[in-house]
């Protein structure tokens, strides 16, 4: 089966919530507690991202969305806020293709780095991003906005001792 990654169109936005909910099932309740497990990105935020060309979808050959990547701006920089792929479509390179689309956009948009927050103990999280050139940030290296996002996750019920900020200097990007 072939897949393509493209900027999201308005008609793709309705598929984002179900993709988020399906992807959440891959996490244990210890990692993704009930307080956040069923939260999805608000449609208003998705519409703004779509209008600003900051959300991408992975589509099957039939045009069905099976994954997405969403970028926000944090500390005046590009921040990979979320990447999700439907579990049935995992391990096919779709997540990598989505991240690579974001990296290309961030570089072309003049950003020097791309940040994200992820779980450090799960093999499909921090190690995945490290393979793409992201490096783990120590607490002292977190810019104010990134540190605030982690703090907000803790207030929402996520164990922040399992979370880590990461950064990709765009001159160091690895394309898989």
**108-166 residue pLDDT tens:** 999 999 999 999 988 888 999 999 999 999 888 888 898 999 999 889 989 899 999 99
Decide: helix, strand or coil at residue 63.
Answer: coil
Where is 157: in which H helix or E strand? none
Give bridge partners of residue 118 from the DSSP assignment.
Answer: 164
**CA Rg, the chain, in Å?**
15
Above 70 in pLDDT, residue 176?
no
Give bridge partners of residue 29 from the DSSP assignment.
Answer: none
Share of the chain above pLDDT 90, in %: 70
Q: Distance between CA atoms of 23 and 147, rounded to whole angstroms?
A: 24
Kindly report, residue by residue over 56-77, the tens digit of the pLDDT.
Answer: 999 999 999 999 999 999 988 9
Domains and their CATH numbers in the chain: 3-172 (3.40.630.30)
Residue 172 confidence (pLDDT): 53
Above 70 in pLDDT, residue 41?
yes
Place of tokens 């944090």: 74
CA dihedral of 168, 171, 172, 176, whole degrees rounded to 10: 90
89 secondary structure, DSSP code: G
Closest by alpha carbon to 8, among 109, 128, 101?
101
Above 80 in pLDDT, residue 99?
yes
């Amino acid at each position: 089966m072939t897949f393509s990654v493209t900027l999201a169109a308005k008609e793709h936005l309705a598929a984002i919530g179900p993709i988020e909910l399906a992807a959440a099932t891959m996490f244990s309740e210890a990692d993704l507690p009930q307080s956040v497990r069923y939260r999805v990105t608000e449609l208003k935020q998705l519409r703004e991202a779509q209008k600003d060309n900051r959300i991408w979808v992975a589509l099957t050959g039939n045009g069905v969305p099976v994954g997405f990547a969403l970028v926000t701006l944090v500390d005046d920089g590009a921040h990979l806020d979320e990447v999700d792929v439907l579990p049935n479509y995992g391990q096919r390179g779709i997540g990598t293709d989505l991240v690579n689309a974001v990296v290309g956009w961030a570089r072309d948009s003049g950003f020097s780095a791309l940040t994200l927050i992820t779980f450090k103990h799960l093999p499909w999280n921090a190690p995945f991003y490290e393979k793409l050139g992201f490096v783990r940030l120590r607490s002292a290296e977190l810019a104010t906005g990134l540190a605030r996002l982690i703090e907000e996750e803790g207030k929402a019920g996520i164990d922040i001792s399992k979370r880590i900020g990461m950064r990709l200097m765009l001159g160091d990007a690895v394309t898989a």
